Amino acid sequence: MQITANNPKLRSWIEVTASSEFPIQNLPFGIFETASSTKRVGVRIGNLVLDLSLMASFGYFDDLNFTVAEFSQEFLNPMMRKGKMAVRALRNRIAELLATDNTSFQNNAAQHHALIPIAEVQMALPVQIGDYTDFYSSKEHATNVGVMFRDPANALLPNWLWIPVGYHGRASSIIPSGHEVIRPKGQIKPDDNADPIFAPSRQIDFELEMGFITFDGMALGQSISTAEAEDYIFGMCLFNDWSARDIQKWEYVPLGPFLGKNFASSISCWIVTLDALQPYACSTPTQDPAVLSYLQFEGNKSYDIQLEVTIEAPNCPAHVVSRSNFKYMYWNMSQQLAHHTVNGCNIRCGDLMGSGTISGPTPDSFGSMLEIAWKGTKPVRMPDGSERRFIQDHDTVIMRGYCEQNGIKIGFGEVRSQLLPAN
């Protein structure tokens, strides 16, 4: 099935500014509610949200494999369970209805209440996340961490260039953009020669990541190849993997991340389909040594997504601390999913895979404060003269991302989270 919604010549009868991240070629999915309605499935175009439950009730999707009930849910999962081709057909139909040369919905003013101004909606967590895996796939990030904490001459661990390293995270503490984060408490060692203490973390950090959401995968015991992987990926979102570096440093040996990670992870509320991102596919960085057979792939499997991290503080102008790009990632999503399932592990509809921190080759493209401030030795100066080695109470971290080509911008909106003091 062709992806007709990606046609760069499409224009909508709905007013969309040239600078908008949500043109007719995007049409991301999310969950919204209003003062007079419960949570339901919506699609973003310009500064409007299209209520798909109402559109289904009007009969626009009668010939597609969807019901009104599947759009009247508090998560996208029931809609997503129809699979890749069904969601593709749905997105194509929505683009058709919103295109300038289609009058069926355009000329029916009585139905235009299905279009709701974005200012009148409250966005919610888009997906019921069953399982969450976080990868460690930026060579630059892994190298920086290795230089800081291990032997600079052997910064990468021996397995890193052979496998997409990952760990199983906590799905219950994944929160939507706009939800505050409370500074966690735990065991820390302020001095290497002293006993640990129990205290609020003193080193709260962000990690600039992207996440991808899966459809239902293979049965337990079967695997997904790199050639098949994109058939099992619904779409992508922005992802802030909050980290308590001092808690993490003390606890992570020998089993890896635990309390330093599971207190909160923030995602953006709009899921941009992998279909919408296809025009922005690009090559993966050269992989040396050559990967094992099950990790080999053909074609462009990465995506040119421009990313930005901003810190806002009370009575202080916002300050951009990082500009990076998803295309820097050494391991691509197809390889991550192939490795995740090669042992027969099953994935399910709504699973979240974090990319790992996205760092580029220069200091202004690093994806965490740990790197940007280089373990606290190079503090960031804010516009009000204050300094940041890590994130302070009442700071707000904002991540944004978009693709752009031939005057068309496909964006993810933002993921915004404020850090509040420990309880």
Of 265, 208, 206, 274, which Cα lies nearest the Cα of 236? 274
The number of angstroms, rounded, from the C-alpha of 387 to the middle of its chain's C-alpha atoms is 28
Distance CA 79, CA 267 (A): 20
Q: For residues 174 and 412, is the Cβ–Cβ distance under 8 A?
A: no
The catalytic residue among 141, 168, 319, 339 is 141
Tokens representing residue 6 in the block: 């990606």
Count of helix runs (H) and strand runs (E) in the chain? 8, 26
What is the bridge-based pairing of β-strands 166-168 and 132-135?
A: antiparallel
Per DSSP, 372 falls in state H
Beta-bridge mates of residue 11: none
CB 390 within 8 A of CB 377: no
Residue 141 falls in the annotated catalytic set: yes
Separation CA 6–CA 23 (nearest Å) = 10
Q: Are 252 and 258 in contact (CB under 8 A)?
A: yes
Q: What is the torsional sign of CA 259, 145, 339, 26?
A: positive
Q: Which residues are catalytic?
A: 141
